[in-house]
Amino acid sequence: PHPTGGDVTARGGGIESVRQVSAEIGRVFQVWATLERALNAQLRALGQGTTGDRWQGIGVRIHAWRRVSLERGPGALVEDLTLLMADALEWRNRLAHGVSGHGWSEAAGGWVIRTELNGTRAEITTARLAGMTAQVAGLASHLSRVTSWTLERGILDPEALGRDVRSCVIGRGTSG
């Protein structure tokens, strides 16, 4: 085994696989920084602002966006996007605080990143992680459309908005 926990002799192994796993984890944090900025901007646009408390967690801000958006906006779409953010946040936290190894998994049919956080073990394929990261990137770039609809109700058809945003955001992660 490699000192980082990966088996570099496994299928698809070698230092390239270690670099690919590291790059994929790095992309998660790059995209999350973009989503956090977008979420803060949308909260300000919705009149919620931010507390200015740098320790206020992203989970609190996701909940605030969901609450305000559900009061005023397209409910089913808001719920879908909130679920996506919650799932992706769980994996962001696992990658930040609980990576325990990586390697080839015959059962998963690809490279996996193994984590242990708060006594719970989980693994994710790099393909699924890449898909989720693409979805979060799409969400960061389309979050303002949901806020615009929320602020200017009636200008856009909520069904059409929902189809389009789902296609642009959720559809991004389905190819991996």
Query: How confident is the model over 59-72, as pLDDT tens digits?
Result: 888 998 999 888 87
Higher-confidence position of 175 and 173 = 173
Residue with tokens 């856009």: 156
21-46 burial, b for 16+ CB within 10 Å, e for fewer? Answer: beebbebbeebbeebeebbbebbeeb
Q: Which helix (H) or strand (E) holds 164?
A: helix 158-169
pLDDT at 9: 47
Pairing of strands 99-105, 120-125: unpaired
Q: What percent of the chain has pLDDT over 90?
A: 40
User: Which stretches does DSSP call E strand in 5-155?
Assistant: 99-105, 110-117, 120-125
What pLDDT band is residue 47 in, cutting at 50, 70 and 90? confident
Q: pLDDT, tens digit, for every residue of 110-134?
A: 889 999 999 999 999 998 999 999 9
